[in-house]
């Protein structure tokens, strides 16, 4: 019985690792693309502006969510513990605040769609015309 339960769990873990994560902005935002480095800088607090100079406010998904962990591993090379350490240093030095975390991809999409200064990440399957994909994270 344990083996039968392990197979679906392995398939789910394998699927979640392969799910495509995309960085999104509002459809009202003129930004068309971002490089991996630009996105990483925004989500790590190294940059506070989009490439065109307008203010960028990144949104995170809930701490512990697999999409969040996968996003940071793929975009910055940092795991959850390293991200916590990064933000502890940034907060201590006063250089930046971590992105505000919201409940899930639907919440990210809804907030980003309503505000051209926000940027977030979601699973490609959640994409619709209210937001624009500016980067696919591999």
pTM: 0.86
> What are the pLDDT digits (tens) for 56-73?
999 999 999 999 999 999
Asked if the 20-137 domain carries CATH number 3.40.50.150, the reply is no
- How far apart are alpha carbons 25 and 56 in whole angstroms? 10
Banded model confidence at residue 15, pLDDT cuts 50, 70, 90: very low
Q: Domain coordinates of the chain in residue numbers?
A: 20-137
DSSP per position, 43-67 = HTTS--B-TTS-B-EEEEEPTT-HH
Give the model's pLDDT for residue 88: 96
């Amino acid at each position: 019985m344990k083996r039968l339960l392990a197979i679906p769990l392995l398939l789910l873990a394998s699927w979640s690792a392969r799910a495509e994560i995309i960085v999104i902005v509002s459809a009202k935002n003129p930004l068309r693309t971002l490089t991996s480095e630009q996105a990483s800088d925004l989500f790590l607090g190294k940059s506070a502006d989009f490439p065109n100079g307008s203010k960028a406010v990144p949104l995170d998904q809930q701490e512990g969510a697999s999409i969040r962990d996968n996003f940071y591993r793929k975009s910055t090379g940092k795991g959850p513990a390293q991200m916590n350490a990064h933000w502890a240093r940034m907060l201590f030095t006063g250089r930046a605040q971590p992105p505000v975390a919201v409940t899930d991809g639907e919440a990210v999409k809804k907030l980003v769609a309503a505000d051209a200064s926000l940027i977030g990440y979601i699973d490609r399957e959640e994409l619709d015309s209210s937001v624009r994909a500016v980067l696919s994270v591999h």
